[in-house]
């Protein structure tokens, strides 16, 4: 097999075939993603937070907002 791969003409054929397969795979993926139906369900992200503050999707805050907790910043040297 190594002797076959040492031949530059055989390597050129393999390069051509590999490039062709990559192009076909990319085209099939593009067609698949184009034809895939869009999910019409609830598109909002689900967020679950054990501790702290979590938010998903559009965020709007009106009025005063106060967030307090442990100081996790590292001391300056």
Q: What is the pLDDT of residues 46-64, one digit of tens each?
A: 666 666 566 666 666 666 6
47, 56 Cβ separation under 8 angstroms = yes
**R_g of the chain computed on alpha carbons:** 27
Q: What is the pLDDT of residues 9-36, one digit of tens each?
A: 999 999 999 999 999 999 999 999 999 8
What is the reported pLDDT for 61? 60
Nearby residues of 45 by Cβ (< 8 Å), 6 or more positions away: 56, 57
Q: Could you tell me the pLDDT band of residue 1, with boundaries at 50, 70 and 90?
A: confident
Distance CA 8, CA 54 (A): 59
């Amino acid at each position: 097999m190594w002797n076959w791969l040492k031949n530059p003409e055989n390597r050129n054929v393999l390069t051509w075939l590999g490039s062709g397969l990559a192009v076909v795979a990319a085209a099939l993926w593009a067609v698949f993603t184009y034809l895939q139906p869009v999910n019409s369900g609830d598109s909002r992200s689900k967020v679950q937070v054990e501790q702290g503050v979590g938010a998903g999707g559009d965020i709007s805050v009106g009025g005063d907002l106060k967030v307090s907790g442990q100081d996790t910043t590292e001391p300056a040297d």
